[in-house]
Structure 1
């Protein structure tokens, strides 16, 4: 069966879409699909410039991390697109859909997309966003089970549309993310960073970590992209995802998530949370899964944590509000004091629930069920 992924490759392009595109390509190729990863370019000159910058002659020279798939350039005039049985649309950029959406629809027997968060409210009638997406996609893959449960609870809707919805979580690679590097004698705390410059997104951790430094003089703080001056953190530069794993996730003992009320990217992601009742709560943040796969428990503000993405008290902890510095200090102290236990249990939980292999298997099953229901597969 031919399957194409309209997405990115994480080496020249980076970002979550690149990582997810790669593991979709790897996973479906291992299930026996004939997979092509479609990389969009505005014109041939841009494509050639990328090859020259990377010093390669063809996109297929890019690393495939054990996957067996082709990498194909595609263009707004339709060059590169071919008829496929299934096409996964892996882009969060509205301008990509404006340019390539119709081309993806025209060349796909079945078009599907994974959404990190759809339903902000349990009042079904107030949230039509999923129904609206049926005009674009044949199969909606919900990253969160709670999204699917809301629609399953509406019998009339489920009777008509249930075959076009599936629970397909986003995963992490247990081979690249592991606990083997967590051997430092002093604790290493990893902090998420907001997309903007609002220090309130991480300020709740500053006091507790300063206090912890008195208990553990060698304690280090790692952040991604930019440092936190108040904590003298070491900023790990953006770059290849596998190197970021080794320099950040595989080292940290605990991962502290930001307060999404003060992160512009989260507040503006209205496609995923259109209702004010959802407020600043997180969408499916895959870095929380990556941290747990590496054996690092997660800690965050209660309203910014999604229940199904961690096991409370085992792989994840939360605090109630910005005034909870004593609670944050106690929680971090508890994790650090018994790091070997939490590292093992957190990793085991992530392996049970969030390997890419199991996530792609769910998507495969949903694709086959949808094709049977629509007469594409007999």
Structure 2
């Protein structure tokens, strides 16, 4: 039995991306017989005991496990870390980073899963490779495109940089809340220019209502007056799925060039746009729930789109093309939804994610034993 330590968050206390991935990993590894502990970082300005009280729980043992058996404990330093074979770093909060260097033990493998990592330009990518492998024994790549770059330019590191597609709890993403009236979902930009980031969705919504007068919009965190949207607050994972993703016909990303993602805007050697550090779990989760996706070409990695040929437009400024693509999605929803969902479920299962991760860990462990 492997002992797995996940440094992350619990969805009942701090909902969001890190809590969702922590849960996907905990339940995925447990399904393979691993003994899992989820550690909540106790760092400057981040106090798991305070989170517990605010959420109305007495002890960490009272937190829901969603059918799992994993432990949940606070982590202020290496003294709080019980012996483990593997440590997974599932925190993207900068305030937790001072904790990472001290979480080392002989024979314990340190690993993490990363979003879009490489551009294909060897000089730039080599800096990231060195940075990853300085901190971690194994870095799992969430995109096959990054694996291909590693094989082409860094073949000597292919055993420590391995493709492991992200997996999600598919049975929670069932589309059971979807109504007969189309519903379109959008997240909000983490930037001052939220109106510009969603302008293409606002204009499209106004046009679509000519054909679907009852068309509904759901927006994460707050209402959008120009769309008359229903705001969906940040919620524990399963509640969030039911209030948002399981109700959608169509999910539309914001314009990343007017959000914090623009910091990762880069070019591939052949001149294509891309966003380093971007994955967008909701794109995959929406398709697992049976929703369709419509985005600008190259904003979302094409391998994350289950129907890439009909789910992309060249420009958000081309209102005619955007309207035509959205209309085709809604008019052909039943057929496209079924195919998209089937493909998503085949590629993005949390149990398969853990299986692939364990196989990659075995390779690293064998290499270390021979060294």
Give the TM-score normalised by structure 2. 0.92
Of 51-60 and 286-295, the range deviating more from structure 2: 51-60
Distance 1:108 1:203, change over 3 A: farther
1:168-317 map, 5 Å: 168-182=164-178, 184-198=179-193, 199-263=195-259, 265-268=260-263, 281=275, 283-313=278-308, 317=311
Q: Is the 8 A contact 1:85 1:109 kept in 2?
A: yes
Give the match's secondary structure for 1:257: coil
CA RMSD of aligned residues (A): 2.4
Equivalent position of 1:86 in the other structure:
86
1:304-340, Cα deviation, whole Å (9 max, x unpaired)? 12111113357x6111113211111111111111221
Q: CA deviation at 1:115?
A: 0.6
Q: Quote the Cα distance in structure 2 between the aligned partners of 1:111 and 1:236.
A: 36
Equivalent residue pairs, number: 366
Distance 1:108 1:58, change over 3 A: farther
Q: Does residue 147 of structure 1 match 2:146?
A: yes
Distance 1:92 1:51, change over 3 A: closer
Q: Quote the Cα distance in structure 1 between the aligned partners of 2:187 and 2:326.
A: 15
Equivalent position of 2:343 in the other structure:
349
Distance 1:61 1:171, change over 3 A: same
Distance 1:227 1:133, change over 3 A: same
Q: CA deviation at 1:205?
A: 2.3
Of 49-58 and 21-30, the range deviating more from structure 2: 49-58
Equivalent position of 1:134 in the other structure:
133
Q: Does residue 365 of structure 1 match 2:363?
A: no
Of 333-342 and 12-21, the range deviating more from structure 2: 333-342
Q: Is the 8 A contact 1:124 1:151 kept in 2?
A: no
Distance 1:148 1:214, change over 3 A: same
Q: Is the 8 A contact 1:227 1:233 kept in 2?
A: yes
Equivalent position of 2:15 in the other structure:
14
Q: Quote the Cα distance in structure 1 between the aligned partners of 2:230 and 2:262.
A: 27
Q: For structure 2, which runs of at least 5 residues remain unmatched after alignment?
A: none
Q: CA deviation at 1:47?
A: 4.3
Q: CA deviation at 1:376?
A: 7.6
Equivalent position of 1:119 in the other structure:
118
1:54-107, Cα deviation, whole Å (9 max, x unpaired)? 33332121111111211111114x34112211110111123312x211222237
Q: Is the 8 A contact 1:163 1:369 kept in 2?
A: yes
Q: Is the 8 A contact 1:297 1:342 kept in 2?
A: yes
Distance 1:298 1:257, change over 3 A: same
Give the match's secondary structure for 1:229: coil
Q: Quote the Cα distance in structure 2 between the aligned partners of 1:261 and 1:108.
A: 43
1:15-70, Cα deviation, whole Å (9 max, x unpaired)? 21111011111111111111111112248x94443333333332121111111211
Q: For structure 1, which runs of at least 5 residues remain unmatched after alignment?
A: none
* Runs of 4+ residues deviating >4 angstroms: 273-280
1:38-53 map, 5 Å: 38-42=39-43, 46-53=47-54
Give the TM-score normalised by structure 1. 0.90
Equivalent position of 1:161 in the other structure:
157
Q: Is the 8 A contact 2:40 2:48 kept in 1?
A: no
